[in-house]
Amino acid sequence: MFIKGLIFSAMLALIIIVLTFPVRAGNPLAGKVYYENTIKNIIMADCARCHSGMTRNLMDYDNLKLYADSGMLAGMVQGPMSRFAGNDAQTILNWINNGAPEKPVTKANFIPGPHAAGPNGQICQPGASLPNTQKNQITYNNTIKHILSRNCLRCHSGQFRNLTTYENVKMYVDNGLLKALVHIGGPMHRFAGPDSRLIIAWINNGAPQ
């Protein structure tokens, strides 16, 4: 009973912290802070020792954004994790208050490479922001097969869930398995990383070849 009471007290304290320190988006007094590379470096320095495995993994933008949007990240760096965040806590809060952006959206985000179609048909790096109209340009041949080759074929080019052809990949798209695997929280998300957003955009658009 004592242990259960202790766990309940800890959970209650966290809820109180989250409610006491709400995140207000768009704070005009907070300077622009981006995940690349400011927040990423802070997380590596302050948090990676404990949060790079299965427990609240903070090692990629998608996972960290999930905790930022839920209010938990703000509550933790102002509460039980403040002793680890230290002076970096305010920088993290400024980032959350401004919508937790990954990087400035500029033309420089779109550079040649075998990833996703960008403006005027050129290719953009993984994780770059893609307007909805550009997501419609992602195909298996110009984007997805390169992502799979880089992230997946080391384990999935043999008998087990072979992803070496469009027909095989499309089968896992149609049965819903590919999306479930690469989605945030899915077992393959840690391998797909930022590229998971491109895979999901492609699936949502009908997985064109």
The pLDDT tens digits for 145-166 are 999 988 888 888 887 888 999 9
Tokens of 17: 């912290």
* DSSP of 53-111: SSSS--SSHHHHHHHHHHTHHHHHHHTTTHHHHGGGHHHHHHHHHTT--SS--SGGG--
If asked whether residues 116 and 92 sit together in one domain, one would say no
Of residues 43, 87, 88, 89, the one with CA closest to residue 65: 43
Residue 46 lies in a domain: yes
The whole-model pTM stands at 0.45
Rounded distance, CA 6 to CA 94, Å?
Answer: 32
102 within some domain: no
Same domain? For 140 and 200 the reply is: yes
Are 83 and 161 contained in the same domain? no
The per-residue pLDDT for 144 is: 93
Number of domains in the chain: 2
Examine the domain organization and report whether 130 and 192 are in the same domain: yes
Q: Tell the residue number behind the tokens 């509460």, with chain if given.
A: 79
Q: What is the pLDDT of residue 112?
A: 38
The whole domain housing 187 covers 107-204
Domain boundary residue, one of 97, 118, 145? 97
